[in-house]
Amino acid sequence: MFRLIPFLFRRRPARTPSGRPLRESAAPKLGLALSSGGARGLAHVGVLQVLEENDIEIDAIAGTSMGAYVGALWAAGFSGTELEELAAELHDRRQLWKLADPIVPPMKGLFHGLKAKAHLARSLGDLRFEDLERRLLVVAADIDTKERLVLRSGSLVDAVHASCAMPGVIAPVRLGQHRCVDGGVVEPVPVGALQKYGGVDRILAVSVVPTFSDIESGWANVGDEPVHPPLWRRATRALNRNLNLLAPGNVIDTFRQSIRAAQIRMAHDSIHRADLCLRPEHFFATWHDYSHFRKFIDAGREVATRHLEEIRALTQTHETHPSPQVVGDRVA
């Protein structure tokens, strides 16, 4: 169960999205980089909806962790509207825990992740990268060599499973000679993967990774907890800490927050290498809280709609290359 993402999607065949516009031969090829970020990554769905509604053609997609999950489903033929319908199934925590397959004793992680992988297979079946109409790149990390792995051939299910295997929570995933963990460890916003392997001229990035300014503005736990939570939250958090290894302040959370500190710095570098980076609004929610799915999707729609003209400009031929921009809320 990678990042505790509940893969509750029904099986359906891959298809070409209807109404795709024909590209002018001289138009720049546009790549889309979707960041990691747990439940907040559902904002990617809102961005995809706006791109579809405005006939913004994407030639290649790169995704890390939750970005790989959303990107793979979209590349396989799920529309943004269908993704929102499927996301509505994620708010029930009882369904989430049905996918739990604990490791006893928890030597390599808390969960195997095999039940969640099986649910993902119900959506993607045996699709391979080679079957897709758009180029898809999935970022994972080799835990032994510390390398970034850009997966672009073979099984989609295996690749997404590897990209979402959060260290300490999900056991590492074996792909050939590699032991893979969450791609957010090496490239939380996969701009570099698109630059090297995407074959595109322009890059639009979407990042839900917090920035330095987010921390300075009061998000002490790097985007998960406000500095001064209300009394009721402090009381329930104290009880939860004694019962839940994933609770704020416990071992898994401490490990995750340490990784997040490095991710913020890597993401800061990546988003400034994109031609345009959208940053959906942040609000209080834990990384595994899918009950706020509609707020996340709406945040993605809002930032994409507000900057639609800048997005359109990426698809136009320019004599001079536009300067990189980072737009959205609380940008460093």
Higher pLDDT, 246 or 187: 187
Query: What is the mean predicted confidence (pLDDT) over 61-71?
Result: 98
Find, among 172, 270, 257, the residue nearest to 220 by Cα.
Answer: 257
Residue 190 has pLDDT above 60, yes or no: yes
Span 161-178, average pLDDT: 95
Tell me which DSSP letter residue 128 carries: B
Joined together, the tokens standing for residue 59 give 């030639």
When comparing pLDDT for 98 and 264, which is higher? 264
Split at pLDDT 50, 70, 90, the class of 268 is: very high
Range 25-35 average pLDDT: 91
Q: Can you tell me the mean pLDDT for 47-67? A: 98
> For the residues 49-74, what does the mean pLDDT come to?
98
> Mind telling me the catalytic residues?
65, 182
Q: Is the pLDDT of residue 188 over 80?
A: yes
CA angle 322, 328, 330 (to 5 degrees): 125
Residue 271 one-letter amino acid: I
Query: Which of residues 9 and 304 earns the better pLDDT score?
Result: 304
pLDDT tens digits, 222-257:
445 555 566 655 555 555 555 555 566 666 777 777
Distance, in Å, from the CA atom of 5 to the CA atom of 1, rounded to the nearest integer, reads 6
At residue 325, the pLDDT reads: 73
pLDDT digits (tens, 9 = 90+) for 98-124: 878 888 888 888 899 999 899 889 899
Q: Domains (ranges, CATH) in the chain? A: 30-314 (3.40.1090)
Distance separating alpha carbons of residues 219 and 95, to the nearest angstrom: 29
State whether residue 45 is helix, strand or coil.
helix
Decide if pLDDT at 172 tops 90: yes
d(C-alpha 283, C-alpha 86), whole Å: 22
Range with lowest mean pLDDT among 112-121, 222-231, 265-274, 300-309: 222-231
Predicted pLDDT at 98: 80
